[in-house]
Amino acid sequence: MIKDDMIKAISKYMEIDTSGLEIKITHVEDKEASEKLPVLYVSMPVRVLLTKGTY
Protein backbone atom coordinates (compact mmCIF):
# COMPACT_ATOMS: atom_id res chain seq x y z
CA MET A 1 0.00 0.00 0.00
CA ILE A 2 1.27 3.49 -0.82
CA LYS A 3 0.82 4.70 2.77
CA ASP A 4 3.13 2.00 4.16
CA ASP A 5 5.72 2.63 1.44
CA MET A 6 5.74 6.37 2.17
CA ILE A 7 6.11 5.80 5.92
CA LYS A 8 9.01 3.41 5.38
CA ALA A 9 10.85 5.75 3.00
CA ILE A 10 10.32 8.99 4.95
CA SER A 11 11.10 7.37 8.30
CA LYS A 12 14.72 7.05 7.17
CA TYR A 13 15.05 10.84 7.42
CA MET A 14 12.58 11.93 10.11
CA GLU A 15 10.42 10.67 12.94
CA ILE A 16 6.80 11.09 11.94
CA ASP A 17 3.46 10.87 13.73
CA THR A 18 1.72 8.13 11.75
CA SER A 19 -1.55 8.65 13.60
CA GLY A 20 -1.84 12.11 12.04
CA LEU A 21 -0.93 11.02 8.51
CA GLU A 22 -3.45 11.96 5.82
CA ILE A 23 -3.20 10.90 2.19
CA LYS A 24 -5.60 11.95 -0.54
CA ILE A 25 -5.56 11.34 -4.26
CA THR A 26 -7.74 13.68 -6.25
CA HIS A 27 -7.88 15.21 -9.72
CA VAL A 28 -7.36 18.77 -10.89
CA GLU A 29 -8.19 20.31 -14.21
CA ASP A 30 -5.23 21.06 -16.48
CA LYS A 31 -6.50 24.04 -18.46
CA GLU A 32 -3.78 23.84 -21.11
CA ALA A 33 -4.32 20.17 -21.90
CA SER A 34 -8.07 20.17 -21.17
CA GLU A 35 -7.82 17.07 -19.03
CA LYS A 36 -7.87 16.06 -15.38
CA LEU A 37 -4.56 15.13 -13.77
CA PRO A 38 -4.12 13.07 -10.59
CA VAL A 39 -2.71 14.92 -7.58
CA LEU A 40 -1.35 13.37 -4.39
CA TYR A 41 -1.91 15.41 -1.21
CA VAL A 42 -0.03 14.35 1.93
CA SER A 43 -0.17 15.84 5.39
CA MET A 44 2.46 14.20 7.59
CA PRO A 45 3.27 15.54 11.07
CA VAL A 46 7.04 15.50 11.67
CA ARG A 47 8.25 14.99 15.22
CA VAL A 48 12.02 15.09 14.68
CA LEU A 49 14.38 15.50 11.71
CA LEU A 50 16.86 12.64 12.07
CA THR A 51 19.51 13.85 9.65
CA LYS A 52 20.23 17.52 9.16
CA GLY A 53 20.93 18.67 5.62
CA THR A 54 18.59 16.19 3.93
CA TYR A 55 15.84 18.69 3.23
Residue 37 lies in a domain: yes
Domain count, the chain: 1
Q: How long, in residues, is the chain?
A: 55
Question: Is residue 55 one of the residues assigned to a domain?
Answer: no
pLDDT in tens, 20-50: 999 999 999 988 888 999 999 999 999 998 8
From the number of C-beta atoms within 10 Å of its C-beta (0-12, 13-18, 19+), residue 10 rates as middle
In a domain, 7, yes or no: yes
Is 19 inside any structural domain?
yes
What is the pLDDT at residue 7? 92
**Domain hosting residue 45, numbered range:** 2-49
Instruction: List the Cα angle 9/10/12 in 5-degree steps.
Output: 80
∠ CA 22-8-24, nearest 5°, is: 20
Sign of the Cα torsion 12, 17, 18, 20 reads negative
